[in-house]
Amino acid sequence: MIRVSSNNTANQIASLHTQRLQQGLKLALDYALTVPTLLLITPLLILIALLIKAESPGPALYRVRVVGRGGREFDAFKFRTMYVDGNARLIARRDQWMDVINGHSDADPRLTRVGRFLRRCGLDELPRLFNVLNRTMSLVGPRMMTRNELFRFGHRIQGYTDVLPGMTGLWQVSGHSARISERVELETRYIRDWSIMMDVKILVQSVVVAFAG
């Protein structure tokens, strides 16, 4: 009985060390990719910000209040893709409401021309690299959620608030299914089966998906 207990304790300690090592590698991977990427694309970020400002008045960046690790809220950054008076524009175009509701973004009158292009190419989320730097997000993780989304279905994703949300993740590279049940299943699988190799695989898939359009 004593020998079994000792073995269990040893296994738990080894598992803890492995988990800490993997977490350290995840942190190193985030910084190793984020810092040089930001240095490389700084001119692109400035150009996008100037194009946004030139097309419509308002800030170049948009902040989304979301829930992260530990249930703490933070501001996730992205480039502004809509007119500041976007809702008024949508109200004035009632003939396009159903298209917008059904997710046809090309028909959304709230979107600017630059914003439409940024969304199509996924460039609107580049500023979230700064969230990775300040450790409110990771490169890979479950898709971030607002407080309302967390109340609606987030409790079904086991361990969501135990990890950092990611810029990309298993749900995104699996096709962005609109079905809540599929998102819950994919996000839960990522959290449950996470490893540093899973993160690397998802990052590679994300690059492939981005270039494939």
Angle (nearest 5°) at CA 190 between 185 and 196: 170
Highest mean predicted confidence (pLDDT) among 18-22, 169-173, 207-211: 169-173
Cα–Cα distance for residue pair 154/159, rounded to 1 Å: 10
Residue-averaged pLDDT of the chain: 85
This prediction's pTM? 0.83
